[in-house]
Structure 1
Amino acid sequence: MKRVHTFRGVVMDRPVKTPPRPAPAGPAKIRVSRETAGRGGKGVTVITGLPLRGAELEELAARLKRCCGAGGGVQGGRIEIQGEHRDRLVAELAKLGYDAKRAGG
């Protein structure tokens, strides 16, 4: 508890906010799926659930784009690769040591 003085001169105890706990260090659920929503019928392959942030995610996206010979990028913490490349991406992620699964139809 933290002692806090209010504007009226009253001293109160206020609970101290604790930072959120980090996610458990278990295996990440990496899913490779296909989406067409909002793209005029054009499909993209989406990789979600990667335990990476920032530059590491950008670096992995660049490697996967080279593997597929396609464009794409990182949006909202997930990798989007243009076109249908689910099988190739699952194989490449497995080669890199990730436990990726194909999601969707």
Structure 2
Amino acid sequence: MQNKKKNKKLTEGEGFTLAQEQPLGISIGALLGVPQKTRADENEEKKAAQQSAHGAKAEPAAPPKISKVALQRQRAGRGGKTVTLVILPQDYKGDTAALAKELRKGLGCGSTIEDGKIILQGDIADRAEAWFTKKGVTKITKSA
């Protein structure tokens, strides 16, 4: 003998109401007794968070203009690899690390900083010259 269980249909009046074409509008949080937040509350919290984030962080200032740059190819002391040195003027007050990162992204090469000079991996002086020209540098000196 098999025990067949009949599915009992739920009807209204057993602690909830059923709607024909709408989903059951209750969340797990409501079942557990957690206070519900409305969308208006969530939007206000987002706006407050954005305003506090913008208030805490000042917009970064525009990087100082570079008037001249010297590009130099170098192989000595690099294990036979050619690198391109970017020599900035001594009075450059900008962030050299940020400029190195920008060069890295713009030229698609590796870069590092040694003794205040930016070292780009590879023989890419021509590409670096074009990049600096595009950025508005007026005097670019290339040497071997």
TM-score band, normalised by shorter chain? 0.5 to 0.7
Structure with more of its chain in helix, by fraction: 2
Q: Kindly, what percent of the aligned residue pairs are identical? A: 31
- State whether structure 2 residue 36 is matched by structure 1 residue 36: no
Q: How many residues align?
A: 78
What's the offset of the Cα at 1:47? 0.6
- Give RMSD over aligned pairs: 2.0
Residue 16 of structure 1: aligned partner: none
Residue 105 of structure 2: aligned partner: 66
Q: Is the 8 A contact 2:68 2:137 kept in 1?
A: no
Matched AA of 1:47: V
Matched AA of 2:108: G
Give TM-score scaled by structure 2 length. Answer: 0.48
What's the offset of the Cα at 1:58? 0.8
Matched AA of 2:98: E
| 1:1-105 superposed matches below 5 A | 28-50=67-89, 51-53=91-93, 56-105=95-144
Q: Is the 8 A contact 1:93 1:100 kept in 2?
A: no
Distance in 2 separating the partners of 1:36 and 1:97: 28
Measured against aligned partners, the alpha-carbon deviations of 1:46-72 in whole angstroms (never above 9, x if no partner) come to 01034434x611111111111221112
Structure with more of its chain in strand, by fraction: 1
Q: Which runs of 5+ in 1 are unaligned?
A: 1-26
